Amino acid sequence: MNDSNATNISFKTKQLNILQKIAQIYWIMPRSWLLEEFRVTNSVLSILCKNGDYFEAPLSEVESTYETDQYDHRAITIRYAGKKAHFKEISWMLTDNEWDAIFMVLNPTNSRLGKIGDIVNKIKQII
């Protein structure tokens, strides 16, 4: 996590080894559902997926939905101005605390709030 600015966070996922991929049923997930990088910089949300798809929007204006699949992977879909991004939680690509922080930022009950600093402060308490 980037601590240089109270309103900025950044997570870049790690590569999994073959055993981790097998354990996470990684091979059946489309690359469009695999997170590469998650950032919030100056209240702007940026998401890059493994297939190169890029999404950017003001965090206070995104709408998000959340679900859990049959393998207990949490998944989130984010929408803004007709654009959409989605990804699933894959263990070992980020720590549990990092995944929790991402899902806290994108929590549907918080996603319309303009209080980015409050959300980031909650994340810093987790990590």
Instruction: Write out pLDDT tens, residues 76-91.
Output: 899 999 999 999 888 7
Enumerate the domain spans of the chain: 9-126
- The CATH label, of 2.70.170, 2.30.29, 1.10.20, 1.10.10, for the domain at 9-126 is 2.30.29
Helix (H, G, I), strand (E, B) or coil at 25: coil
Q: Give the tens place of pLDDT for each residue, 104-121.
A: 888 866 544 445 556 666
**Is the predicted pLDDT of residue 4 greater than 50, yes or no?**
no
Q: Centre a 10 Å sphere on the Cβ of residue 59 and count the other Cβ atoms it contains.
A: 25
Q: pTM (2 decimals)?
A: 0.73
CA separation (Å) from 17 to 14, 22, 29, 71?
10, 9, 16, 19
Phi, psi of 22 (to 5 degrees): -65, -45
Q: What are 64's strand-pairing partners?
A: 78
